[in-house]
Amino acid sequence: MKTAFQEQVSRILAWCRTGACILAYHRVAELATDHDQLAVTPEQFRQQMSIVRRHYRVMGVADLTAALCRGQAPGRAMVVTFDDGYADNFTHALHILEEFEVPATVFVTADMVGSARAFWWDELDSLISSAGAAAGVGPVPQDLHSVLKTLPAPQRDRMLRDLAARQGVARENQLARTALTHTQLKQLAAHPLIEIGAHTLSHPQLSALNPQEQDHEITQGKRVIEAWLGRSVNSFSYPFGGRRDWNATTRRLVQTAGFSAACTTVPGLVTRACDPLALPRCLVRAWSGAAFQQRLAAFSQEAKRMSPPWKMSRGARARVA
């Protein structure tokens, strides 16, 4: 008789035979606070990759996209991705990926590479925390994140600067550098397990921008990274990635820019019907190995009831290819 754990694995494997699952990570780090739930600890990541290696067929975004363009969706396939381009993808995640020989795609926000500043949402969280701890300082609106994500980078930067001044805080003292350096990016790109993808210039909500602004963010983000690496960048991840964070115009601009794959954060299973420029993913949180296994089982059941975020015909797949 199968144990509960074996039954769980069997259900997941049966689900995966019909398609592939793309995991979405951001950070691998021990953080004192993590308001946005972006980080898994190194030990949690090690447990998760152990499960992925033992039970699934691992591959990168490029290999999955090539299969989709042939009208295939590899069964029992698992793809690991990272959004944003945090330095701990290199300092903490890479050696664990090496340990289990799991490939990964790292989507990089171009303007942040080598920056001494923190990502804007991390800076905002720090300013909000500072406001809560400071006597005589008015509260910071909690919905600022949803406001800032809709703004072009210059406006967003001005709002953060004004907020820091209101708090009496020097922005450069808020948080240590958290993004990849140019050297780390090049070392990741040279690693046989790693594919580098693009994640725009400044990580805006693309659907809130006009077509010209969207095109600038998408195209220039690609070109900047390609210039650094001396090679083409073919995979893209929509910032934030939800259904309201990108639209048909965004997808068209991504295709025109020359990307062959693009990932969303819309939950779902990658099947043959999926559009390679609108791939669903499973967002991973700070789960133990056992919790990760349970979440995958729950996700598999949910994904069966969900349609992919965008379906395409065989002819459309050929045009992407």
12 has a pLDDT exceeding 90: no
Residue 141's pLDDT band (cuts 50, 70, 90): low
Report the Cα 288 to chain-centroid distance in Å. Answer: 20
Amino acid at 268: G
4-114+180-320 sits in which CATH class? Answer: alpha beta
Please say whether the beta carbons of 304 and 269 come within 8 A: yes
Q: How far is CA 142 from CA 37, 145, 146, 196, in A?
A: 16, 7, 9, 33
Report the Cα 246 to chain-centroid distance in Å. Answer: 14
140 has a pLDDT exceeding 90: no
Residue 301 confidence (pLDDT): 67
Residue 298 confidence (pLDDT): 77
50 has a pLDDT exceeding 50: yes
Give the pLDDT confidence of 93-121 residue by residue, as tens digits: 999 999 999 999 999 999 999 998 889 99
Most confident residue range from 30-39, 50-59, 141-150, 250-259: 250-259
Residue 110 confidence (pLDDT): 98
| Mean pLDDT calculated for residue range 216-242 | 97
Beta-carbon contacts of 170 under 8 Å, excluding residues fewer than 6 positions away, are: 164
**Torsion 188-293-63-106 (CA) sign:** negative
Query: Strands 261-263 and 282-283: what pairing?
Result: unpaired
Residue 171 confidence (pLDDT): 66
In the chain, where the domains are located:
4-114+180-320, 120-173
Residue 64's pLDDT band (cuts 50, 70, 90): very high
| Mean pLDDT calculated for residue range 235-248 | 97
15 has a pLDDT exceeding 50: no
- What is d(CA 284, CA 22) in angstroms, rounded to the nearest whole number? 10
Residue 134's pLDDT band (cuts 50, 70, 90): very low
Global pTM exceeds 0.75: yes
- What is d(CA 39, CA 109) in angstroms, rounded to the nearest whole number? 17
- What is d(CA 244, CA 242) in angstroms, rounded to the nearest whole number? 5
**Torsion 261-263-264-267 (CA) sign:** positive
5 has a pLDDT exceeding 70: no
